[in-house]
Structure 1
Amino acid sequence: MLDDQDRRLLRYWQAEPTLSPGELAAHCGMTAGRAARRIARMQDAGILQGVGAVIDWAALGYAVEVSLRITLDKTQGNAFDAFQAAAREVPEVIEIQTFLGRVDVRLNVIARDMGHYQQIYRDRILTLPHIADIEALMQVARIKAEEALPL
């Protein structure tokens, strides 16, 4: 589906997402129009899903990140859907992942400090539907957070 020129475009854009379409095309050795058509094709195919800003939550005062591993009470037929819908409504939940196995869902939660986290946990997390068990892992350091693909 992707050829070498598509991969080159993606590689340069991942490395420097602030490049204008013209600059990106110049780096890739193609015209701006051709690069724009290739980018549009990759967007239409769902390969490129958007370009956004990366925000340093700590710089905005969020000093605590906790990963919650949650096992749901699967005796209810709608447990996953109801839980996910409710978890999406918690603004401090920055990531939701589902798994196969003992752990069903993982939530990443950010908070300003431990007092704020306790408030979120008591008022928002523990009220989510169908929770059977929760294990909390407090993040100490982020060693690697890379979303770029090896193209």
Structure 2
Amino acid sequence: MLDDLDRRLLRLLQADPSLSGAELAERTKASMSKCLRRLDRMREVGILLGQEAIIDWAAMGYAVEVSLRITLDKTQSRAFDDFIVAAREVPEVLEIQTFLGRVDVRLSVIARDMAHYQQIYRNQILTLPHIADIEALMHIARIKSDEALPL
């Protein structure tokens, strides 16, 4: 499915998503048109999903990150769907993950400080539908945060 050129292009883009077509061509020793065709093909088949700006939320004044592990009331048939729809509306929720097991959902929540977090927790998190239990884990340090694949 992927050949050596495709892998090299993906490695380069993972390392620096701002590389131009000309820079990719120069670094891969392939023509720019060939590189761009390969990237277009990988987008079309869903391998390359896009590029995004990564903003340092701490530099923007958010000093608190909390991971909330949530168990839902699964006696309600729409518990997952209703919860996910509502949780997406909370601007401070950066990530929503679902699981099989005792914990159903994990939310990653940011806040400016603990007072702001308490306000978010009381006014927005606790009002989310179908919550049976919540466990909060205070984020201390991010040791590894890397979505790059070993290509």
Structure-to-structure mapping, 1:62-73, within 5 angstroms: 62-73=62-73
Query: What is the rounded CA distance, in whole Å, between the counterparts of 1:138 and 1:9 in structure 2?
Result: 38
| Deviation readout 1:45-93 (Å, 9 max, x if unpaired) | 1111110111000000000000000000000111000000000000000
Deviation for aligned residue 1:146: 0.8
Q: CA deviation at 1:100?
A: 0.3
Question: In the TM superposition, what is the alpha-carbon distance from 1:17 to its structure 2 partner?
Answer: 1.5
Structure 1: gaps of 5 or more residues? none
Q: Which residue of 1 aligns with 2:148?
A: 148
In 2, the alpha carbon distance for the partners of 1:148 and 1:50 equals 13
Instruction: String of CA shifts for 1:103-122, please: whole Å, max 9, x gaps.
Output: 00000000000000000000
5+ residue gaps, structure 2, are none
Distance 2:76 2:21 in 1: 50
| RMSD, aligned α-carbons | 0.6
Q: Please identify, of 8-17 and 100-109, the stretch whose mean Cα deviation from structure 2 is larger.
A: 8-17
Partner of 1:134: 134
- TM-score when normalising by structure 1: 0.98
The letter of the residue matching 1:108 is S
Q: How does 1:18-33 map to 2 (within 5 A)?
A: 18-33=18-33
TM-score (norm 2): 0.98
CA distance in 2, matches of 1:25, 1:13: 12
Paired residue total: 151
Write the mapping of 1:49-88 to structure 2, written as runs, cut at 5 A: 49-88=49-88
SS at match of 2:58: helix
**Any runs of at least 4 consecutive aligned residues in structure 1 with deviations exceeding 3 A, and if so which?**
none
Tell me the residue number matched to 1:124: 124
